[in-house]
């Protein structure tokens, strides 16, 4: 008997010690938690093929099923969805589709081109089908999506209708795939409610949606429950936190962030709560300077368009014209390249300050599946309270969504799941943060779902941080980067195009010319640290007045101009290496780069647009060209270092767009000369 009991006893001790160790590692090793909640993608839609050709190295907990819950080509037929007409006859069927063939001949990378159905009744049909079944077979996606078209048009629109079954591969989404494989991913994280955006975001913030199962009018909703932030202020008042945002909830109509007090009323109970809301460029500055708060929540730029199909232009539909807005939130039908750039921006700003990065956990999740196919049935859930709508008791989860955990203290190629019978959902974030902040569980008071939610602190498994921040595929071997040739924030440089023409010095309120003449001395601004592939930068000309020295692009007109810092996306650029397109790769002088901005290049097309030279009647000048236009691969620039280093001046030090107080010369080894003396 003792021989049987002793191994079990030892196993329990080892398991307990492992969990305790992870608790300690999260508690002592993480000082900054950053989370971004993106929009409307199921797990299979964007990460189904993550481990198609290999396997994860680590599964957490260790006793979980060591099989990644993605898709494989030999089992796709198991998940075939049928489309039936009114007589019950099958019109056509579709299994899950590897890749995005519906947009293979399109200049946009935006499958599906019509936004799928998201409300509660539609999601119920997607999960259970249309035959009254109570078994979640996940076979109703095709039928539900087809309801957007008239039955007589189904065969004509077959390719478009089947796009709801399409699944992106690493070729189309290298940033999301790269981060998930380089760090950790959960393949068992479910949206909290089988419905659309607002109720799911409410569960993330409040642990309940106050019984709401659909968005309010114009996509607006009001929730009265306390939020995560209310509880932090009450129970951990020394904890710093901020919500960073980009665009208004409804641009030009409601000029506030979606997570503000007009949505979550209890925020008004927090003294001076408005001071916790900052624009996105401030996040990048604070991240690069190592001064982020303990908890950061990031709002993307919202996609409001419903239809981006070139065969059915939005201008022919009044609803699409009104909501002809796209963002970087990865919400269909927006171009996913904007969302990929957004993720790269966040990651590269975080890794720019090694000391702070070594104490950071970055979480990427999605609010809901957005009507897109997933093959894993959602399990039963705990009701958060007694509030309900449409007879739904909130006793089952929504469809599975991707959630990625990113930190130098996470092992590469990790898959994490709950260590209880309850899977992760959005309330797991709140529960983990409360636990990390040592808030007594008896004082959480955020509903039954949050109280029972599993936590993910076990994802932190390393005492010593990793240093491999660049996301480079295993089969790529790069030459060693020369440290003295790496570009840092605040250094001077020139930009010349493929023809040897330079961006020229210009006067205020003039469109910069491109050609031969007095070269414009440019600097990347907004924080400190190295410039890497994917970095978020402002482009600054210090010779111009402070209120006219930031390069921006004009929406619709395409032309570039210098103005003051307007804290909006027309002035925000993503820098990319042409020859080394790997997130986190250190940009060097002499390298060819793309500079991508995010502007509306026409009335409804919001996609990355590259800084480009445009021919004029008298002079060539700076403009932008959308990545969906032909010939944009030639719109690269070469980073040229001035022959002589300039003396460090107050202007050079003032690379922060907010203040100089956070800048430290000691953090920036690129300064070669200070008052004529060598800088160590």
CATH of the domain at 604: 2.80.10.50
DSSP for 353-389, written as a single string:
SHHHHTTEEEEEEES--TT----SPP-B---SSS--B
How much is the average pLDDT of 24-28?
83
Same domain, 447 and 505: no
Mean pLDDT of the residues in the chain: 86
pLDDT reported for residue 307 = 62
pLDDT (tens digit, 9 = 90+) per residue, 177-189?
999 999 999 999 9
Same domain, 402 and 319: yes
Is 643 inside any structural domain?
yes
Same domain, 374 and 518: no
Pairwise pLDDT comparison (290 vs 558), residue with the higher score: 290
pLDDT at residue 491 tops 50: yes
Is 129 inside any structural domain?
no
Confidence band, pLDDT 50/70/90 cuts, at residue 606: low
Is 531 inside any structural domain?
yes
pLDDT (tens digit, 9 = 90+) per residue, 203-245?
999 999 999 998 887 678 889 999 999 999 999 999 999 999 9
Same domain, 452 and 534: no
Confidence band, pLDDT 50/70/90 cuts, at residue 16: very low
Q: Is 45 helix (H, G, I), strand (E, B) or coil?
A: helix
Confidence band, pLDDT 50/70/90 cuts, at residue 318: very low
Same domain, 234 and 270: yes
Distance from C-alpha of 94 to C-alpha of 249, rounded to nearest angstrom: 36
Same domain, 637 and 492: yes
Is 127 inside any structural domain?
no
Q: Is 428 helix (H, G, I), strand (E, B) or coil?
A: helix
For 529, what's the count of Cα atoms within 13 Å in the CB-facing half-sphere? 27
Is 100 inside any structural domain?
no
| CATH value at residue 334 | 3.40.720
pLDDT reported for residue 246 = 84
Is 467 inside any structural domain?
no
Structurally, the chain folds into a number of domains equal to 2
pLDDT reported for residue 536 = 93
Task: Spell out the alpha helix ranges (H) of 85-195.
Answer: 120-128, 141-146, 158-161, 174-182
Same domain, 451 and 506: no
Of the candidates 673, 487, 476, the residue with the CA atom closest to the CA atom of residue 590: 487
Same domain, 454 and 500: no
Contacts of 429 (CB under 8 A, 6+ apart): 35, 204, 363, 365
pLDDT (tens digit, 9 = 90+) per residue, 253-286?
556 788 888 899 999 999 999 999 999 999 999 9
Same domain, 56 and 188: yes
Give, in degrees to the nearest 5, the angle at Cα 513 between 510 and 516: 145
High-pLDDT (> 70) share of the chain, %: 84
Q: In the listed set 442, 459, 476, which residue is the last one of a domain according to the structure?
A: 459
Is 91 inside any structural domain?
no
Same domain, 409 and 532: no
Q: What residues make up the domain containing 648?
A: 487-678
Is 183 inside any structural domain?
yes
Same domain, 514 and 452: no
CB 29 within 8 A of CB 293: no
Same domain, 454 and 499: no
């Amino acid at each position: 008997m003792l021989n049987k009991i002793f191994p079990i006893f030892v196993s329990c001790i080892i398991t307990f010690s492992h969990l305790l160790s992870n608790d300690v590692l999260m508690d002592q090793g993480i000082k900054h938690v950053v989370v971004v909640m993106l929009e409307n993608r199921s797990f299979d839609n964007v990460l189904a093929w993550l481990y198609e050709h290999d396997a994860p190295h680590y599964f957490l907990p260790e006793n979980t099923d060591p099989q990644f819950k993605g898709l494989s080509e030999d089992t796709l037929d198991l998940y075939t969805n049928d489309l039936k007409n009114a007589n019950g006859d099958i019109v056509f069927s579709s299994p899950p589709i590897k890749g995005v063939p519906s947009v293979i001949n399109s200049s946009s990378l935006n499958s599906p081109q019509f936004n799928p159905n998201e409300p509660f009744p539609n999601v119920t049909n997607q999960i259970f089908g249309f035959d009254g079944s109570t078994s979640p077979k996940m076979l109703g996606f095709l039928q539900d999506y087809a309801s957007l078209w008239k039955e007589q048009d189904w065969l004509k629109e077959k390719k478009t209708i089947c796009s709801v079954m399409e699944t992106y591969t690493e070729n189309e989404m290298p940033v999301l795939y790269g981060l998930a494989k380089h760090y950790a991913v959960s393949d068992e994280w479910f949206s909290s409610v089988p419905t659309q955006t607002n109720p799911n975001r409410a569960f993330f913030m409040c642990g309940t949606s106050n019984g709401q199962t659909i968005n309010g009018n114009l996509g607006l909703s009001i929730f009265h429950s306390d939020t995560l932030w209310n509880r932090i202020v009450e129970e951990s008042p020394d904890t710093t936190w901020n919500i960073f945002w980009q665009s208004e909830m409804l641009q030009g109509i409601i000029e506030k962030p979606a997570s503000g007090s007009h949505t979550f009323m209890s925020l008004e109970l927090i003294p001076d709560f408005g001071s916790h809301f900052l624009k996105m460029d401030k996040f990048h500055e604070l991240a690069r300077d190592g001064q982020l708060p303990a908890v950061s929540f990031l709002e993307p730029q919202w996609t409001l368009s419903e239809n981006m199909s070139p065969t059915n232009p939005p201008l022919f539909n009044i609803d699409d014209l009104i909501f002809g807005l796209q963002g970087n939130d990865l919400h269909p039908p927006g171009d996913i390249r904007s969302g990929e750039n957004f993720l790269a921006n966040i990651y590269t700003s975080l890794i720019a300050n090694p000391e702070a990065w070594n104490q950071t956990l970055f979480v990427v999740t999605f609010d809901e599946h957005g009507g897109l196919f997933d093959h894993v049935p959602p399990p039963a859930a705990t009701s958060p309270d007694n509030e309900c709508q449409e007879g739904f008791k909130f006793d089952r989860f929504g469809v599975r969504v991707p959630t990625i955990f990113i930190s130098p203290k996470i092992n590469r190629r990790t898959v994490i799941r709950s260590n209880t019978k309850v899977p992760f959902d959005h309330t797991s974030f709140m529960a983990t943060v409360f636990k990390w902040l040592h808030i007594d569980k008896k004082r959480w008071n955020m509903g039954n779902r949050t109280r029972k939610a599993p936590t993910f602190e076990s994802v932190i498994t390393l005492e010593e941080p990793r240093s491999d921040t660049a996301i480079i595929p295993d089969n790529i071997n790069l030459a060693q980067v020369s440290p003295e040739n790496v570009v840092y924030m605040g250094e001077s440089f020139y930009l010349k195009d493929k023809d040897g023409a330079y961006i020229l010095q210009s006067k205020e309120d003039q469109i910069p010319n491109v050609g031969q003449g007095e070269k414009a001395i440019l600097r990347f601004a907004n924080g400190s640290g190295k410039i890497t592939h994917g970095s978020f930068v402002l482009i600054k000309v210090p010779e111009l007045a402070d209120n006219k020295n930031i390069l921006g692009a004009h929406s619709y007109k395409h032309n570039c101009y210098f103005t003051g810092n307007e804290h909006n996306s027309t002035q925000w650029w993503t820098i990319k290496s042409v020859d080394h397109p790997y997130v986190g790769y250190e940009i060097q002088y002499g390298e060819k780069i793309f500079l991508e901005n995010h502007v509306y290049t026409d009335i409804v097309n919001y996609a990355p647009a590259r800084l480009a030279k445009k021919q004029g009647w008298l002079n060539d000048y700076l403009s932008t060209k959308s990545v969906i236009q032909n010939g944009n691969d030639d719109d690269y620039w070469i980073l040229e270092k001035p022959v002589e280093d300039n003396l460090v001046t107050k202007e050079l030090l003032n690379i922060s767009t907010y203040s100089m107080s956070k800048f430290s010369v000691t953090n920036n080894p690129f300064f070669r000369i200070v008052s004529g003396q060598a800088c160590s």
